Amino acid sequence: MRIKRHSAAMAVVAAGALVLAGCGTDQNVPQGGGNPALDSVQVQCGTKPISGEGSSAQKNAVDVFARDYGLKCANQTVNYTKSGSGKGVAAFTAGQVDFGGSDSALKEEKGEVAKAAERCQGNPAWNVPMVFGPIAMSYNIPGVSDLTLNPDVISKIYKGEIKKWDDPAIKALNPNAQLPAIDIVPFFRSDESGTTENFQKYLKTATGGAFTGEGKTLQGGQGVGQGRDGSDQVAQSVKATEGSITYVEWSFPKNLGLGIAKIDSGAGPVELNTANVGKAIESAKIEGEGNDLKVDLESIYGNKSAGVYPIVLNTYEIVCSKGYDPETAKAVKAFLTVAANANPQELEKAGYVPLPEAFKGKVLQAVNAIS
């Protein structure tokens, strides 16, 4: 199948598009530039530019990947347009881009698996989980800089059953905190959001079904909290509102200096940091077969082990297992190999976590098998 490509000029001006220097030779290139992790990575870059489209949740991570790709190789481009997961899957299955970015794996019941296989010249497409980002429970409580919550309390806040910060259930988790007797003001995403979808999946799993909401729109309760459009707006609303709380991608409260709650899944409070999120990823089970690495998120959300931070979303790069022309296959493999070895410090700054070594091994095995 011939892949449709936008011209370089269109790629530069396309809204939300990322155009960064990439790989341009057909040689194994050992240099790594500013990312020492790339020094020993060998890639065959190919000679074609590559393009992707989809999930906005992974856009900042793709920025990091493409910057590292530019360090490793030269004279090529990676074009990524953040248009949303649904449009990314549609663009991939239509053969308009080389990889799709999606907050969820291809769905057989929606016909996506079959359409993707047709696009890949009769070969299966693979879901490669390249990006993991924690969801923070961010808060603004006067006089409180250390807060612990658990799934039951979070669920009841978003169902409107716990309404004050000095509620006995919150006090029990925070015996040394001076919790004020003020109203809890929950903020949530009013737009359709993959963050909301994953947040609700987490609560449903972690509470054993006591929380019943699902989907990209919050379904917790009627008239509970205030909706805002986009992650930046919910985070800014928490900063401006005493007594408030929200669920939001890690980078936003980090950048605004907001409080981030520890999560107690039953084995004690767990801080949101790279190591504790890494433990959650390492524990993840794979639902897909072979090199189709569809993640069973319930195996993360239901993990009650000590030191595991469980509120995590992941996004996929959807690629052809076979069916690319040889030069595109080389470029896709090179880009994803670099992505798996991306600069961990830069990823953390952007609000993501690097792939733990064991999990990265599975991802690279899949990437190496692309042909």
Model pLDDT for residues 178-210, shown as the tens digit of each residue: 999 999 999 999 888 888 989 999 999 999 999
- Angle, helices 326-340/59-72, rounded to nearest 10 degrees: 110
Q: Are residues 118 and 207 in the same domain?
A: no
Has residue 5 got a pLDDT over 50?
A: no
Which band of pLDDT confidence, cut at 50, 70 and 90, is reported for residue 354? very high
Residue 235 belongs to a domain: yes
Q: Tell me the C-alpha distance between 252 and 240, whole Å.
A: 14
Residue 301 belongs to a domain: no
Mean pLDDT, all residues of the chain: 88
What residues are designated binding site for phosphate?
55-57, 85, 103, 193-195
The residue to which tokens 């524990």 are assigned: 283
Q: Are residues 268 and 207 in the same domain?
A: yes
Q: Amino acid identity of 151?
A: P
Q: Are residues 42 and 177 in the same domain?
A: no
Has residue 69 got a pLDDT over 80?
A: yes
Boundary of a domain, candidates 277, 305, 329: 277
Q: What is the mean pLDDT of residues 246-256?
A: 93
What residues are designated binding site?
55-57, 85, 103, 193-195
Q: Are residues 20 and 80 in the same domain?
A: yes
**Cβ neighbours, 10 Å, residue 326:** 12
Q: What is the mean pLDDT of residues 226-232?
A: 91
Q: Are residues 74 and 90 in the same domain?
A: yes
Q: What is the mean pLDDT of residues 210-224?
A: 81
Residue 154 belongs to a domain: yes
Q: Are residues 240 and 219 in the same domain?
A: yes
Q: Are residues 138 and 237 in the same domain?
A: yes
Residue 305 belongs to a domain: no
Q: Are residues 38 and 142 in the same domain?
A: no
Residue 81 belongs to a domain: yes
Which residue, 242, 127, 241, is CA-closest to 180? Answer: 242
Query: What token pair was written down for 202?
Result: 């987490």
Domain carrying residue 172: 134-277
Q: Are residues 100 and 120 in the same domain?
A: yes
Model pLDDT for residues 141-170, shown as the tens digit of each residue: 999 999 999 999 999 999 999 999 999 999
Has residue 7 got a pLDDT over 60?
A: no
Q: Tell me the C-alpha distance between 49 and 202, whole Å.
A: 38
pLDDT for res 368: 97
Q: Tell me the C-alpha distance between 244 and 133, whole Å.
A: 22
Boundary of a domain, candidates 250, 277, 304: 277
pLDDT for res 220: 66
Model pLDDT for residues 92-144, shown as the tens digit of each residue: 999 999 999 998 899 999 999 999 999 999 999 999 999 999 999 999 999 99
User: Going by DSSP bridges, is the β-strand pair 185-189/99-102 parallel, antiparallel, or unpaired?
Assistant: unpaired
Which band of pLDDT confidence, cut at 50, 70 and 90, is reported for residue 2? very low
Model pLDDT for residues 14-65, shown as the tens digit of each residue: 333 344 433 333 333 334 446 777 878 888 887 889 999 999 889 999 999 9
Which residue, 266, 345, 287, 297, is CA-closest to 135? Answer: 297
Q: Are residues 14 and 94 in the same domain?
A: yes
Max mean pLDDT range (7-16, 57-66, 170-179, 339-348): 170-179
Q: Are residues 162 and 96 in the same domain?
A: no
Query: What token pair was written down for 354?
Result: 């690097």
Model pLDDT for residues 260-311, shown as the tens digit of each residue: 999 999 999 999 999 999 999 998 999 989 999 999 999 999 999 999 999 9
Q: Tell me the C-alpha distance between 150 and 210, whole Å.
A: 13
pLDDT for res 10: 36
Domains identified in the chain, total number? 2
pTM given for the model: 0.81
pLDDT for res 65: 94
Q: Tell me the C-alpha distance between 356 and 3, whole Å.
A: 33
Q: Are residues 18 and 122 in the same domain?
A: yes
pLDDT for res 74: 82
Query: What token pair was written down for 258?
Result: 């907001």
CATH of the domain at 192: 3.40.190.10
3-state secondary structure the chain: CCCCCCCHHHHHHCCCEEEEECCCCCCECCCCCCCHHHCCCCCECCCCCEEEEECCCCHHHHHHHHHHHHHHCCCCEEEEEECCHHHHHHHHHCCCCCEEEECCCCCHHHCHHHHHHHHCCCCCEEEEEEEEEEEEEEEECCCCCCCEECHHHHHHHHCCCCCECCCHHHHHHCCCCCCCCCECEEEEECCCCHHHHHHHHHHHHHCCCCCCCCCCCCCCCCCCCEEECCHHHHHHHHHHCCCEEEEEECHHHHHHCCEECEEECCCCEECCCHHHHHHHHHCCEECCCCCCCCEECHHHHCCCCCCCCCCEEEEEEEEECCCCCHHHHHHHHHHHHHHHCCCHHHHHHCCCECCCHHHHHHHHHHHHCCC
Boundary of a domain, candidates 277, 303, 327: 277
Has residue 258 got a pLDDT over 60?
A: yes
